A and B are shown apart, each in its own frame.
Chain A
């Protein structure tokens, strides 16, 4: 483990930015944290988390896949993806780090998504342990320890120091690059802090949430529960929850006619939308209740069923604070029996 003082953090960032593009959460013009590219003068935000998740770096909201050009009877297909370059994302919280396990299983299993894979290969994730979890946090329900985040490098911020620990080869290489600015140290202070965070986690209002009633094989039990009607009653059908979610991975592939060719692009889609997975006969989920149920069944039942029991929610709490009508996965879980007494 290595450490640097918080005062010298800026020069450490500068050093990393010499090697590759560095992104970190800074306070935006509206006061909310947002991942931005580091430049001299960037100040690391104190906010617990960003509104948009770091999934954007690996799976952007909208990306061009290819371009078609027709000339006479020939169709030319042009690969327009930009060359991937190395980049690092600093300040990824434990929940968001976990979200990459979930996305990897979707995009990196055969047939592998080469767009996502290339970004994963070039991206270094530098996580940051939480020091002040929010009431909306429930990562512990999914077995995540916010005091000990994974990632290529784990960072721990104490009152005066930033501690760095490499977990992968990529992380080792990056730590090597900043070796001159950090010093070797023991993990005493970090361990002390971890204990403090774990104690706070027990006090959080959502600490009692459990996943016992969910998981693979629960489809028949949960699918027809009458509670779905009540839970989805007020749902507006907007895409806020899916777009701020670090694990939602549905997308649509569309063609855009530019007038001088066609650009094929993909963009995030939301199961909350009425035209989601629309087929020739129309839509198979005709009411908002079915769309709403799909989202939560996918996170809590279908995904774990296909992925060794791994839930596709990491408890980051973004949907809790952003849903226009304050309906969210915690309320769903509690209603369907996910609270230990």
Chain B
């Protein structure tokens, strides 16, 4: 019997103005990153409320990464500064509940950083793959 290779499912929330364009650039430059990264475009990283992150885990994500403009570069001036605090708090709460801290990440990726986007995704996928399946924040009903 062939053992199916475990591939983590990653949800990446990308802000419309920087990170999504960065992902686009990565594609244009033919940079490789795993196809298991599913990108969800949001108007600003600040649009991502904690519920989005939890829902991604519920629906089967093994890792969630949030990408936005570099601090200071937010299209809406300050959105990503709020994101920074909010996610810092959410991640430390998840950690407090004993959920692996390596499953979540925030990364700032500008429109010009296609290479960084690809490298970040590769790195994050490797990191989550090492943890294995998400068991602590899973909803069994959503598993096939």
Contact = CB atoms under 8 A, between A and B. Distances in A.
Q: Are chains A and B touching in the complex at the 8 Å CB cutoff?
A: yes
A258 interface: yes
Contacts of B142: 258-260
Interface in B40-60: 59-60
Contacts of A258: 141-142
Contacts of A64: 141
Interface in A254-271: 256, 258-260, 263
Q: Which of A64, A258, A260, A263 has the most CB of B within 10 A?
A: A258
Interface residues of B, number: 5
Contacts of B141: 64, 256, 258, 263
A263 B140 CA distance: 12
A103 to B, nearest CB: 27
Contacts of B4: none
A74 to B, nearest CB: 18
Interface in A62-76: 64
Contacts of A260: 142, 144
A240 to B, nearest CB: 24
A263 B141 CA distance: 8
A315 B141 CA distance: 38
Interface string A233-263: 0000000000000000000000010111001
Interface string A173-195: 00000000000000000000000
Contacts of B59: 259
A63 to B, nearest CB: 13
Given A256-B141, A260-B144, A263-B141, 7 more contacts: A64-B141, A258-B141, A258-B142, A259-B59, A259-B60, A259-B142, A260-B142
List 8 A-B pairs, minimum CB-CB distance, nearest first: A258-B142, A258-B141, A260-B144, A259-B142, A263-B141, A259-B59, A256-B141, A259-B60
